Amino acid sequence: MNRRKTGAGPAKDHSVTDGHVRWTYIDNLCIPCIIREGKPHGPVRILEKELLNRLSSTDAVNAAFQNRQLLVSKYLTDVEVMQLNHFSAGTFGVFTSKDLVVDIQEFRELYSYVKSVLHRPNSVVTGGWVQVNNR
């Protein structure tokens, strides 16, 4: 199944009820998000594998994380696991209660910042590492 945005994507659940799944797009990638406290939270392994790892081939990405606060990750509940597995239909593998989620808006801000640092001319690289998952 193609997870890239091609015009028509999965039907979006516009309710904000906790525990429901809602789809969101980041860089044309459709990501299932679980609603917690009225806000969407995205699975860390998808965000890392599908978005951050595309950028991590350069030391500049690692350096970009040095000046940013880490995102707080939280484990999925059993009900959230069931919801994500049902709605993603195995597209991203099987979710378990050991999977972590982060606030998708906070991730968007971090991801935009990292991409902006990569596009700066003459950016200086001093080291660091990429980590969203900070258990």
Structure letter (DSSP) for residue 93: B
- Establish if 12 belongs to a structural domain: no
- Establish if 54 belongs to a structural domain: yes
The angle formed by the CA atoms of residues 67, 69 and 75, to the nearest 5 degrees, is 145
Q: pLDDT tens for residues 57-66?
A: 556 666 666 7
- Establish if 31 belongs to a structural domain: no
Domain region containing 95: 43-118
Q: pLDDT tens for residues 91-117?
A: 889 999 999 999 999 999 988 888 887
- 133 C-beta neighbours (distance < 10 Å), count: 14
- Which of 65, 55, 70, 69 is CA-nearest to residue 125? 65
Q: Is the pLDDT of residue 37 over 80?
A: yes
Output the pTM of the full model: 0.72
- Establish if 68 belongs to a structural domain: yes
